[in-house]
Every structure is written in C-alpha cells, then in structure tokens.
Amino acid sequence: MTRSVAEDAKAVVRRYYQDLWNAWKFDAAADLIAPDISFRGSLGIAVEGRAAFLDYVRTVRTAFPDFHNSIEELISEGDKVAARLTYSGTHQGVLFGIAPTGRRVTYSGVAIFRISDGKIVEGWVLGDLASLMQQLQAPAANKSA
C-alpha cells in the first residue's frame, strides 16, 4: 500500500521535530530542510537558507538546551502540513536580551510547512511570545519563610 503525499509530508514534519529539534541532530537538516528554505520561527525570527535556519536552531538551543517540541496535532493536505505544538524548556542562555533565569517555560504554537521532494521548503511558525515573555520576565517567587 502506498502512502499519500499528505502522509509523506506529515512524516517529514514528525521527523523534523523528533530528530532536528528534540534530539538536536543537526546533520538531519540535510535530509529534512531544503537548501533555500524560507522560515519564520516561533520566536518571530525570519531566515532564508539552510545555514541561516541552522543558526536559528542554535540560537534556540543556546537559550533552552533542553528545548522540547510536543506535537499535539498534525493536519495535512497535499504538500502542506499544519502542526499544533507545545514548546517547553529551561531558560539557560540569553534570549531577547534577557539573562538566563533558570525558569522552566511552556508555550504554545502553530506551524505551517510546505514540503517538496521530501524536504521542508517553507516554514511559518507562530509561537505565543506573550506567554513566553511573561514567564521569562515574571518576578522571582518570594522564598522567605
């Protein structure tokens, strides 16, 4: 039984999150990301090209070394895949000029990808930056007894 284009596209997105983002397997980018990708990440940063995309991934990893993407839902039609996601990680590196807080953060996002020849050629991700910033800039909890 052969898989549909939509099923193949979903498999690429699943592997993208599992291998590239959750396992930090940067070499997987050659198999998953088109050389001329157009990408806007959940942090609102837009890049063009695989090298710039990998720089973006490294930026996220520096800020959140344990960053994890949980796929809540995948919907596909033809060469397009939409993903509803939950992101989580511990803030351990500078992000948006905010020094590491050591706080565990969780925020939601939605991503839309276009797949061609088994690679992501376009990615547009909208993360709940208001929630992320609120968690990063929240006052420290009162630790007095």
The C-alpha atoms of residue 94 and residue 24 are separated, in whole angstroms, by 19
Instruction: Give CA torsion, residues 51, 117, 124, 99, to 10 deg.
Output: -30
| Residue range 43-70, pLDDT digits in tens | 889 999 999 999 999 999 999 999 999 9
pLDDT score of 5:
84
Which element (helix H / strand E) includes 58?
Answer: helix 50-63
Q: Which CATH architecture fits 5-137?
A: Roll (3.10)
Residues of the chain with pLDDT under 70: 1-3, 138-145
The C-alpha atoms of residue 42 and residue 23 are separated, in whole angstroms, by 18
CA 34 distance to own-chain centroid: 16
pLDDT score of 138:
66
